[in-house]
Structure 1
């Protein structure tokens, strides 16, 4: 149970780790504004390729992530593993390096080259970000490595000590750019935790609104809400319906490192 509590802490933060479907104008903004009264979002499209970010997110950053609120909408009837344990992270900043780079293209399964036909999109360095995120929460000795499927940027595996694995698969997403310059992205993904008595499944939706600031300390800030939904394998699945069983809200701050 201790392991599961910590796993939930780091895997529910955000989805840079993993083109994009455009949401109906204003729907993602409204989605964030309705916190904590959430239902599953309807405008996401199947995830194809990588998630492209604005050019102003390119580079190396020190990310400071702070859990500012958490809600269990169906408590006390349904509470996810580790929810109460995650209260220890409330208002506690956790920092780690992240990187956003130009997208590269796999050529004939042999080489990775910049896309030649047009300006390369900005995407997350999923292995770098995923490894630093996991180690910030679990420690260097617990997290062995992070791998991304060479055939799909939407499938990632975190390898943990003791032959345990956390598999994350992005299945759908949507993006929105607001009139005030915010970039909002929603991604829906499935998680499978392997290594216990039996695999543990859940579904997660993360919506993040990024905003470029006129200063460099920080240079970017973001408001993020991550919602946990029960998978069909859970005995409480039909009771929960389309409602989330846990909601986590984070404040993200990006500080340039100049590396």
Structure 2
């Protein structure tokens, strides 16, 4: 189960949705790791993430777990936290893809004026279709899951066709992990930097049990524009929070019960 949380943390770090955060809030949060005492300020997740243009294409990713903390241990710990020590400083490699999609602007009616708008873009009054960069989430999730669990450890990853914020992972043994993004925020400190955070609700279901929790993934990406091969480096933290169904929910009082920090390296395929 804990491996699945690691998978979803990685997946969500590459499919975040879009809502602007106050300048510097997320960058400051990453700099304060591991002294996190609450979730970040986010807004309700709507729509999809529009990534910077420099993230378009297919990438070879190396993700390395470099730190892990259980802030409330030994009083409260999550299943498998200690076992995850086997992942420490062990690079995991997989492929991800970011693609261009064509989106129609939304129509909003104001007194005497019509505006066509699209979340994450400027207002448009011409009704044109505008290209955006988004994550190929099913492709990315499947590749990441297989890299961690093995070629036979994951059956499929699908995006709910009725809800782009709902990711469904099917596993052997009639097991299923459903992750639904509920809140997001982002920052763009400069033209070569992109920071985003999201909160997701997770449900792991088997024939004998259902396990709930919440996961935050906050990631800072930086494009290496002058590198010989186009590449991106990332600093990512996945924080696990107890769900209201957990008997220790009130004892945790909103604090994360597990923190995992990763270093990411994305190199574009030639």
Structure 1 residue 18 displacement after superposition: 6.0
Structure 1 residue 17 displacement after superposition: 3.9
Q: TM-score, normalised by structure 1?
A: 0.90
Larger radius of gyration: 2
Q: Which moved more, 1:53-62 or 1:7-16?
A: 7-16
Structure 1 residue 220 displacement after superposition: 0.4
2:168 counterpart of 1:157: yes
Per the alignment, residue 249 of structure 2 pairs with 237
Choose the corresponding residue for 2:154, options 108, 126, 143. Answer: 143
The number of equivalent residue pairs is: 246
- Given that 1:148 and 1:157 are in contact with CA atoms closer than 8 Å, whether structure 2 keeps it comes out as yes
Q: Which runs of 5+ in 2 are unaligned?
A: 105-126
Question: CA 1:160/1:239 → structure 2, altered by over 3 Å: closer, same or farther?
Answer: same
Distance in 1 between residues matched to 2:164 and 2:189, nearest whole Å: 26
Structure 1 residue 179 displacement after superposition: 3.9
- Given that 2:238 and 2:259 are in contact with CA atoms closer than 8 Å, whether structure 1 keeps it comes out as yes
Distance in 2 between residues matched to 1:254 and 1:91, nearest whole Å: 17
Distance in 2 between residues matched to 1:123 and 1:235, nearest whole Å: 38
- Given that 2:11 and 2:141 are in contact with CA atoms closer than 8 Å, whether structure 1 keeps it comes out as no
2:72 counterpart of 1:69: no
Question: CA 1:256/1:19 → structure 2, altered by over 3 Å: closer, same or farther?
Answer: closer
Structure 1 residue 153 displacement after superposition: 1.3
Structure 1 residue 19 displacement after superposition: 6.2
Per the alignment, residue 113 of structure 1 pairs with none
Q: TM-score, normalised by structure 2?
A: 0.86
Per the alignment, residue 84 of structure 1 pairs with 82
Per the alignment, residue 264 of structure 2 pairs with 252
- Residue 166 of structure 1 aligns to a residue in which SS? strand
Per the alignment, residue 145 of structure 2 pairs with 134
Per the alignment, residue 119 of structure 1 pairs with 130
2:192 counterpart of 1:195: no
Q: Which runs of 5+ in 1 are unaligned?
A: 107-115
- Residue 121 of structure 1 aligns to a residue in which SS? strand
Per the alignment, residue 228 of structure 1 pairs with 240
Structure 1 residue 139 displacement after superposition: 1.5
